[in-house]
Structure 1
Amino acid sequence: MKVALLEDDLAQAKLLTQWLSEAGYEVFHRDTVSGFKSMLTEQPVDMAVLDWQLPDSSGVDALQWIRSQYETRLPVIFSTQRDSEEDVVAALKAGADDYMIKPPRQAELLARLAAVGRRAGLDRLNSPNLSLAHIEIDQEAQRVLVHGEEVKLTRKDFLLTCCVIKNQGKLLSREYLLKEVWGVNADLNTRTVDMHISRMRRNLQLDPSCGYAIKTVYQHGYRLEKVED
């Protein structure tokens, strides 16, 4: 699972990154709110750990931005020295899922991350099976069913399908999809992604009539969204 870490104390960031990496998380760290926001427009994550006081803004500002950008609710934990009741309440009212007082303790941090992840349903990401509306995916068998009928996909189309469905509600840049599906050094034009997304819509019958659609985000990429009636 991918964790975004916003922390300007580099020693603290190094320690948290070590703990999270040892527990199997992939960590993406930034030390300013502006850098954090920029990172999240390119790198989808599954949860975030925020400090409160940053050089250019606050963790609350970062949290409010997250809540305005993500269609699905990204789990967020504060890890900060601010220990007043007013600060805790302010963070929770702004949309934080949990709040920890520094210095952090390794076992507690990991337990809290696991707990907010369970509440957000992130444990399904580790399941070999994925589902969305009329689509069922067996990742181990690399098998896709659409309305109960098996659909044959190429290896790249299958990987793209899994990536997009796992990241429902998140903005996925073309560059990110190239990296995740074709490899870090994929020497391909981003038009390749557009072609495969078009084929994915057609093969999986993803359109507003099924309640979900892949929205094209101008000059950036794509987002799988739930379509409201």
Structure 2
Amino acid sequence: MPMRLAPLTLMSLLLSAPAFAALQPPPGYHAAVGQRGGAAPSCQAVPRPYTGDLQFTSKYEGSNSARATLNRKAEKNFREQTANITRLEKEAGRMITYYMRTGQQGHLDCAVEWLDQWASADALESEQFNHTGKSMRKWALGSLAGAWLRLKFSESQPLAAYPQQSARIEAWFTRLAEHTVREWSGLPLRKINNHSYWAAWSVMAVAVIADRRDLFDWS
């Protein structure tokens, strides 16, 4: 016969139990840092943090309503306007990947330095944006937070030596995620497309980093 608990005892157990376990990424994100040895190349200068308005030329400017025809001149303008953002995305991701494969400390030092400088400058947080600008914000967030997950949850705990930098970077990611939620919420079904999927991925990555159930549920 199953044991029965008195109602008050059962209620006290329910109230004392956590509502949810801490959010965790898939098992692969817990992988240890590789140990191939060797030295990382010297750290390049950090690209200037982008703190201006997120008002960028669309690559499809002048296209029809489907916005699917590339405008070469507009694309050139877009690339020039967003060069520093794109460089941060690509290089920070590359450095984190190389660090996870090799264990070369210089890659990690450099990646943390780059991200910390952008976080400290409140980069990409402008309230003045167009569609391309808010798209850039969530694309950058998805790339950066997705790479950071590997450091955050690695069983090697590579971020243990960077508590202050990590706190600033993760707080910055959280602010960008909150921007993303505001900017991509409430769209009618006909407007939901790959942009919404990117927004969901970027916010999901931050939800796990920050253990934010509200961001997880939005995603």
- Fold match (TM-score > 0.5): no
Give the TM-score normalised by the residue count of structure 1. Answer: 0.25
Q: Does 1 or 2 have the higher relative contact order (CA < 8 Å, sep 6+)?
A: 2
More strand by share: 1
User: Which protein shows a greater Rg?
Assistant: 2
